[in-house]
Amino acid sequence: MISKVKVIAAISGGIDSSFALALLLQHGYDVIGCHLLMSDNHEEDAERAKDVCHFLNIPCYFVDAKENFKNEVIKPFINSYSRGNTPNPCILCNPSIKFKTLFEMLKKLGADFVATGHYARIIENNSNYHLARGKDSKKEQSYMLYRLKKEWLGKIIFPLGVWTKAEVKDKAKGIFGDMFSDVRESVDLCFLSERKTLRNFISAKIRAKKGPIISSQGDLLGCHEGAIFYTVGQREGLGLSNGPWYVLSIKEHDNTLIVGRKEDLYRRTVKCFNPHWLERPETGEAYTAQHRYKTTPKPVVLYCLDNDQFIVEALETPFWGVAPGQSLVIYDGEIVMGGGIIADSTNSSSKRNLKLKGGKNTCHLC
């Protein structure tokens, strides 16, 4: 008797991962559910994951990842906010917690693949595997996955990559009935309870200090309640007259917000550090780049590239609201090349200042 291909499938307790499990079963895989316990705020999700696996008649393992999540995601998240940056915890969590745990389970249980409910795709070309955008442009999540290990790609299945969210909701109802009718859509900050806002969470971890709000021309406009409560591009909560005003930058060293008008937030050149590449890019080549989740990618040229950082310049329209701490993800068509953490940006062109030294992989701007 030929044994089935065994898959370790993440089950969060939400509709996406649950439908992904059902799809894997329909395609003949031997599926094992895996629910990661990452905080004390989601007992209902754990119970629902258990119910889904029972309904589908598959085993379900519960892995306590709370301590690792605290050290690998929450602490860096807090540290980044304390420096005036705007981190994306999901980008940290996917490689260091979720997929790392799934691959540990794969090895432990002798499985062949891991699977999640992400809206992304794996494309194979002559035994070379690439991460690619999902079909649903409004939901696709390849941006969140760019820091996965290249060697993992050949062992990952994304069942929802060719589906839209609307299709998933429709088909899932036919399988699970009303099981998810009162379940809210998952949010990026999964560690927050329904009763706690990001502001509450941050203020409990970092002491907020009042400070000045200064215009880009140097005029004192008012006072903020704590720079940790703001991000670049934000206009709410400033309490200033003669608006609208937008946060242009956060000066952590002197607890100052710099504000300006909407048009002041356009940036043509973006510098990133801590790059992670799934495919090696080339300087001088045209790609597209996405500077926030769910923003439209823009055509760019990569002008600087070394092991520690890189710089891109927008070819057509500039980026808007580029926030240090977020990720800039580079695409070649639908293929994810990789990306890095945004360090800073400017609205001036780097072309006239560019001077390569020692070959195409170094330049004085880096």
State yes or no: is 190 an active-site residue.
yes
Question: Which candidate in 93, 272, 304, 363 is catalytic?
Answer: 93
State residue 192's pLDDT score: 66
Give the residue from 256, 258, 259 showing the smallest Cα distance to 209. 256
> In this structure, what CATH number is given to the domain that contains residue 274?
2.40.30.10
Share of the chain above pLDDT 70, in %: 91
pLDDT at 42 over 90: no
Query: Between the CA of residue 153 and those of 36, 163, 316, what are the distances in Å?
Result: 21, 19, 32
State residue 357's pLDDT score: 25
State residue 228's pLDDT score: 87
- Do 98 and 245 lie in one domain? The reply is no
pLDDT band at 43 (very low <50, low <70, confident <90, very high): confident
pLDDT at 361 over 60: no
pLDDT at 33 over 80: yes
- Whether 39 is covered by a domain: the verdict is yes
pLDDT at 359 over 70: no
- Whether 41 is covered by a domain: the verdict is yes
- Do 112 and 248 lie in one domain? The reply is no
Mean residue pLDDT of the chain comes to 89
Name the domain boundary from 136, 161, 176: 176
pLDDT digits (tens, 9 = 90+) for 50-68: 999 999 999 999 999 999 9
In sequence order, the β-bridge partners of residue 250 are 257
How many Å apart are CA 142 and CA 161, to the nearest integer?
10
State yes or no: is 223 an active-site residue.
no
- Do 164 and 17 lie in one domain? The reply is yes
Residue 237 sits in which domain range? 207-260
- Whether 151 is covered by a domain: the verdict is yes
List of E strands, the chain: 6-10, 30-37, 60-64, 113-115, 120-125, 128-133, 156-157, 211-215, 220-224, 246-251, 256-260, 266-267, 269-277, 286-290, 298-305, 309-314, 319-320, 327-332, 335-346
Residues near 193 by beta carbon (within 8 Å), at least 6 away in sequence: 41
pLDDT at 366 over 60: no
Q: Are strands 319-320 and 246-251 parallel, antiparallel or unpaired?
A: unpaired
- Do 150 and 16 lie in one domain? The reply is yes
Tally the domains of the chain.
Answer: 3
Q: Who has greater pLDDT, 109 or 207?
A: 109
State residue 351's pLDDT score: 46
Average pLDDT on 328-333 reads 98
290-197-47-171 Cα dihedral, nearest 10 degrees: -40
pLDDT digits (tens, 9 = 90+) for 188-206: 667 666 666 777 777 778 8
- Whether 127 is covered by a domain: the verdict is yes
**DSSP one-letter code for 134:** -
Residues near 100 by beta carbon (within 8 Å), at least 6 away in sequence: none
pLDDT at 1 over 50: no
